A and B are shown apart, each in its own frame.
Chain A
């Protein structure tokens, strides 16, 4: 059953306001969700003043600057800073996106940063993605084929066959889509979520894969696949402009087609 309220230990209580840097001309206010597992306290919402002159253009630059200049305990994941590793996915001004590809200038007013929604928080902006990765593993995201590969070359595909999997295979597993989905919020223990389902789709339509039937069998379940109600938050959130909602709709169509 959907639990709309946050549990008592998860409600945001208070927050620290860090003083404005002296002599800063151009500034932005940034509010950031903080949780320290060692304090035994509830999460809080801290207020920072960002000095724009010495800061790079992206939200990730702002986080790095605040960590360096204001509070070194500010914790977040980041790696590639160019939208390909998927580490810095977070909820910025109400929408899930990558901090490294979100420009500060595209955000109006005060900037509010939370961890990816409805996830267990390890510290500050770092969510526990164990379930998310387990769901990805559950769709067996690798080539399954009983036919041995040709001895002297790769398993070949036509250009058209490759183009079909181009977009779904470009997923970076940042979890922006799944954690934007209300169905996933209420049923993440049973519903696979858009990211895992798009991964399943990517292998179902792969011309070299021979486990299509088994893959569809594994998804034939009231929760795993059919908790998708086409809310479209996944496709709207995807920072790589991919379309998990379409992938899920195509899987549902295949389920129908193989029955007739």
Chain B
């Protein structure tokens, strides 16, 4: 038998609400694991005395990393809200096409709102971002 080609998949399938919410859940989960590495480093630095603390502050205080923290807050928010959606699904509810379409929008909007709330709570009271 001649070797048969594999038909195109990811490259041609449309990214509808289904694929998009699922892949975002994966990515945000992976990003959170990356964030934990930084958190681990920071805790070590705090526990290791003043020199290490100052070095950590210089390293972790860069603008690029601050952007990354904002991204992490979104990752946290999205993964949390999407996780709740999966919990509801696991009870057998919300699985009709129209319902899951609606809950995809709810997850998107709720996670952005939660991110904004967290950003405000973390950065604004001190007046400087």
Contacts and interface: CB of A to CB of B under 8 A. Distances in A.
Interface of A: 4, 6-7, 9-10, 12, 33, 35, 37, 42-43, 91, 93-95, 112, 114-122, 127-128, 180, 182, 185, 229-233, 235-236, 241, 243, 245-246, 249-250, 252-253
Contacts of B96: 235, 243, 246
B9 interface: yes
Interface string B76-94: 0000000000100111100
A6 B6 contact: yes
B9 A232 contact: no
Given A182-B19, A249-B89, A235 B8 contact: no
8 contacts: A6-B8, A10-B6, A35-B5, A43-B5, A121-B6, A182-B9, A230-B22, A246-B95
Contact of B4 (A37, A118, A229): A37
Given A232-B100, A235-B95, A236-B16, A118 B22 contact: no
B48 interface: no
A117 B7 contact: yes
A12 B8 contact: yes
Given A235-B97, A236-B97, A33 B22 contact: no
B14 A94 contact: yes
A6 B8 CA distance: 7
Contacts of A241: 97
B13 interface: yes
B89 A117 contact: no
Using C-beta atoms within 8 Å of the partner chain, give the interface range for chain B.
20 to 34
Interface of B: 2-14, 16-19, 22, 86, 89-92, 95-97, 100
A95 B97 contact: no
A245 B92 CA distance: 9
Contacts, number: 112
A123 B100 CA distance: 36
A8 B89 CA distance: 39
B19 A120 contact: no
4 closest A-B pairs by beta carbon, nearest first, are: A94-B14, A10-B5, A120-B4, A117-B9
Given A7-B5, A114-B8, 16 more contacts: A6-B5, A6-B6, A6-B8, A10-B5, A91-B12, A115-B7, A117-B7, A117-B9, A182-B22, A229-B22, A230-B89, A231-B18, A236-B16, A245-B100, A249-B89, A253-B91
Given A236-B16, A249-B90, A249-B92, A120 B97 contact: no
Contacts of A42: 5
Contacts of B9: 6, 117-118, 182, 185
A117 B2 CA distance: 19
Contacts of B10: 4, 182, 185
Given A231-B18, A235-B95, A180 B13 contact: yes
B12 A112 contact: yes
Nearest to A246: B95
Nearest to A94: B14
Contacts of B8: 6, 10, 12, 33, 91, 114, 117
B18 to A, nearest CB: 4
A94 B22 contact: no
A185 B22 CA distance: 15
Contact of B90 (A121, A233, A252): A252
A26 B8 CA distance: 30
A30 B6 CA distance: 21
A260 to B, nearest CB: 15
A233 B19 CA distance: 7
